[in-house]
Amino acid sequence: MQNLLKMSCLVAAVACSGCQSVGPKVIEKSHPSYNDVLMSTIDRQLLANIVRLKYRENPTFLEISNVTENWRLGFDVGLDRSELLTNDMRNVRSSWYGPKAMLGVAQSPTISYRPVKGKEFIKHMMTPIPLGVALGMSSSGWKLQRVFNACIEKINDVENAPSASGPTPWQKPNYEKFYAMTELLKKLEDANCVTVGIDPENDHQLLMRIRADAADARDVIEFKKILGLNLNKNEFRFEGNFLKSSTDGLVVRTRSLMGVLFYLSHAVEVPQEDIERGVVQTTVGDDGSTFNWSENASGTLLRVHCSKSKPDNAFVSTCHRGHWFYIDDSDLHSKSTFMFISTLFNLQAGEASAADVAPMLTIPVH
């Protein structure tokens, strides 16, 4: 019994000293794992909602509002029986008891989920993206071509598939002139001949400045002609009043965040069986044939493939209606667009007000 008491005191001392080192080790091991899982979960949710919109299903956003992980350091003390057998290994010659101690760490995470909804969230999803937010993305390193193709529905009289800002239309949208304009915009931007920013000397107006002297004159002229701009000017102000038209400015109508998600959903590849069953809308081209959405800017922005089995080379994937939808890990252009949309969603969706917070679902994980 005296030995048992000594062992108990020793284990207690080890446990107390261990508490000082277990905490940092737990964080070191658990933090990267939770970070990776949370990020991949958010990515799968965004992709799943894009796929749902292709099937005209309501998107659902579930937020992980809290992750609590409890770690318990415990020990147990008892007696361990030992036996000495006879030479023939059949009979017990003698037995004795000795102290036994066990030290362990138990993990008990608790995860809280909250549906993201409410009037503020819906308003942010349905309201056109503020021009400053959309163009501000270009100041954060995103190419103007990607920003324009994804977020802008119309500039002056040039349309970027406005009918594609909702459920898949049955008729091919108008996009060719806009697409040609953004291709020229890319060339000008790559040559450092065009910049978009705020004019601090003119009521903080957003403007586009073109360095015509450093660009191919033919590209600059064609760019201006498509947008109906004054060929003699190289500085143009952005305006949000899309009912107005001007040769001296860029009158812009942006998409809503929901419109952006709808726009990207149309290029999602779907199984032929779903097309034949009529569960997805088929778009018809000018010649009466099936319109290929990959020809549209939405198809060049984001390619979502479809597979019967789980893909091995997916950057992000989700299973829906018995098929796997995924973005190829080697498709850097689509991965960039996906990152862009994730950032835009975080900027535009905003925080729900206290009155709009939905009940949380808390699940202890054993």
Coil, helix or strand for 242?
A: coil
Please state the domain extents for the chain.
Answer: 119-177+237-352
Instruction: Spell out the long-range contacts of 232-235 with Cβ–Cβ below 8 A and sequence spacing 24 or more.
Output: 234/209, 234/210, 235/207, 235/208, 235/209, 235/210
Q: Is residue 77 within a helix (H) or strand (E), and if so which, with residue range?
A: strand 62-85
DSSP one-letter code for 201: T
Q: In the prediction, which pLDDT does 99 show?
A: 60
- Tell whether the model's pLDDT for residue 29 goes beyond 80: no
Q: In the prediction, which pLDDT does 295 show?
A: 74
Nearest to 185 by CA among 135, 239, 128: 135
The Cα angle at residue 116 between residues 107 and 148, in degrees rounded to 5:
115
The per-residue pLDDT for range 213-266, each reduced to its tens digit, is 767 788 999 999 999 999 999 999 998 776 666 778 899 999 999 999 999 999
Beta-bridge mates of residue 18: none
The per-residue pLDDT for range 103-153, each reduced to its tens digit, is 555 666 666 666 677 677 788 888 999 988 998 888 888 999 999 999 999
pLDDT-derived band at 198, boundaries 50, 70, 90: confident
The per-residue pLDDT for range 68-110, each reduced to its tens digit, is 666 565 555 555 555 555 555 555 555 555 565 555 556 666 6
The per-residue pLDDT for range 268-298, each reduced to its tens digit, is 999 999 999 999 999 998 888 999 888 776 7
Mean pLDDT check: name the lowest of 43-52, 83-92, 97-106, 328-337: 83-92
- Tell whether the model's pLDDT for residue 66 goes beyond 60: yes
Q: Which residue has the tokens 């065009």?
A: 194
